[in-house]
Structure 1
Amino acid sequence: MERKRVIRTLITFSLLAALVAVIVVSQNRDPSNPHTSVSKDTWIHGPKGHGYAVLNNQQPWKQCYTCHEKKGLGGEAYCQSCHDQSGVKVDIPKKPS
């Protein structure tokens, strides 16, 4: 009888610890950010990161700007300020009129 009680107690504490771990990990994620599962360094410098997205998305006003503006970051000005800080010289595609 005592053995079953010890096993049940261990299982209960294990499940409680797992629940706490899931809650802590989930608090650090933003479900509306598609880049949240990738570290910032990998996103900026990785082979399937920012450069890949830019080369394969020549219409940032459709995808990037709207999301960045919703986050309060700004659109084209946000991209340009980051490029200026990092010393990157690029021409950001303009939205056709």
Structure 2
Amino acid sequence: MKPKRIVRTVISLSLLAALMAIIYSSQTSDSSNPHAAIPRETWIHGPKGHGYAVVNNQQPWKQCYECHEKKGLGGEAYCQSCHDQSGVKAAIPQRPAQ
């Protein structure tokens, strides 16, 4: 085979492999979940995980509760049930009266 043909074949196979990897990874992740790329243990206990988000987002009803409710998890009740299960004693910010 000529060198140009070998190079074209290698490039074509590389592009095909990359396309297959992209398709596979897009099928195995939940694009609607912003935490999907982070392992659960890292998200819950990591330095930039759940605790960091809570401390830096003092209005979870604007972001967290809404998304959790869309997922069918619930808002404040979901957070409270998780805290109860894990033994965390924390005040859950309440949604302001409208």
What TM-score results when the alignment is normalised by the length of structure 2? 0.84
| Equivalent residue, structure 1, for 2:92 | 92
- Per-residue CA distance 1:17-75 (angstroms, 9 max, x = gap): 11101111122222222222322111111111111111122221111110001111111
| Runs of 4+, deviation exceeding 6 Å | none
Structure-2 separation of matches of 1:55 and 1:8: 53
Structure 1, unaligned stretches of length 5 or more? none
What TM-score results when the alignment is normalised by the length of structure 1? 0.84
Pair 1:26 & 2:23 matched: no
Structure-1 separation of matches of 2:73 and 2:10: 47
Q: Which stretch has the larger CA shift, 18-27 or 36-45?
A: 36-45
| Equivalent residue, structure 1, for 2:67 | 67
Which residue type is aligned with residue 64 of structure 2? Answer: C
Aligned-residue CA RMSD in angstroms?
1.6
3-state DSSP class of the match of 2:62? coil
| Equivalent residue, structure 2, for 1:37 | 37
Structure 2, unaligned stretches of length 5 or more? none
